Amino acid sequence: MRKYADIAAVTLVLALVPAVAGGSPYYMRLATLALVYMAWTVAFNLIFGHTKQLFLCLNALAGTAGYLAVVLAIQLKLSPWVTVPVGVAAAAGLGALFSYVSVLRGLGVIFLGIVTLSFSLIFHNLVLGLRQFTNGETGLVSRGLGFSLLEQPVPSYYIFLAVLLAALAIYQLLMSSKSGMAFRALSDDELTAELSGIDVTWYKVLAAAVASAILGLSGALYAFYNGIVSPSVFSFVGIDIPVLIALLLGGMRTRLGPVIGAIAFALLEELVRPFGQLNVLVYGVPLIVLFTTFREGMVPLLGKCLAMLDLRQAAPLGSEQAEGQRRTP
């Protein structure tokens, strides 16, 4: 149980947030959004951190689920309990497809990145083009469709907290099983992993499918929670970039990196908000500074600090990837 002390601690802290911020709708929304991004970052950690698949279409995967769930609910008068799983399935299917095709065609990191980026743009244009369903740029209202819980701040918060915990649980399950070893092997050297009998295709597609499902679930629920779905809700700059920064900030391939990173990024955004247009600094500068200094991210750094202070005799936070980090120059 010692191993999960960190998750328990974080869960406790997160669960108590409404007690502190419950009175302010603004801060509740901020906190809830942070939870959404944390789940998305966990997913990205699986896809990019552990299996080196540079998916630059997180917004499209989350958005596909989101739009599908809302549009089906509106058009076919179906309950969100039906449409959300459909959205999740679609996202998972797409993610798995991209992963499968890229392994099949032997696409390297950048090629997959470009292909998924293209998909992201296609998604954006599809949404704008299919205006009879999506109402184009203006978007659709996603209230009153039968998901009343997501229309109240505090219940919403706990729903998304549950989603995050589920995502972390799935992550932990994967990493501590055979899959975790496979991920480590193939992210180190794919050819050797393949030659050692590891079915690289299966594990990559698995990671992509699971991650995309998480992206889709968060995305679909977020679509209802937000009250409006429009292209700007699921934009590349609004999702992929912050998630990337959050993962790098928190620490790739660590268990709690996504959580810490997302919180740190949210704080950064709040700090820069008063500067208006210059908030690009939040995107530009951290990217540059991060990758030149804190290569490993905050979680390993924190782990090292705590280790130095002799507060932990056990392995530091995010222990699964201790060896992985060592190999990073």
User: What is the contact surface with another protein in residues (CB under 8 A)?
Assistant: 101, 105-107, 109-111, 113-115, 117-119, 121-122, 125-126, 128-129, 241, 244, 248, 277-281, 283-288, 290-292, 329
- Complex with another protein: residue 151 or 194, whichever CB lies closer: 194
**Least distance from C-beta 191 to another protein, angstroms?**
14
**Least distance from C-beta 125 to another protein, angstroms?**
4
- Bridge-partner residues for 141, per DSSP? 228
Angstrom CA distances, 50 to 38, 114, 199, 274, stand at 16, 19, 15, 36
- Complex with another protein: residue 279 or 319, whichever CB lies closer: 279
- Complex with another protein: residue 9 or 189, whichever CB lies closer: 189
On whether the CB atoms of residues 250 and 259 are closer than 8 A, the answer is yes
Cα angle 230, 77, 150; round to 5: 55
- Complex with another protein: residue 224 or 283, whichever CB lies closer: 283
What is d(CA 147, CA 169) in angstroms, rounded to the nearest whole number? 25
**Least distance from C-beta 149 to another protein, angstroms?**
35
**Least distance from C-beta 92 to another protein, angstroms?**
20
**Least distance from C-beta 318 to another protein, angstroms?**
20
Q: Which residues contact 166 (CB under 8 A, 6 or more apart)?
A: none
> Shortest CA distance to 236 belongs to which of 130, 138, 163, 127?
127
- Complex with another protein: residue 128 or 314, whichever CB lies closer: 128
24: tokens are 């302010």
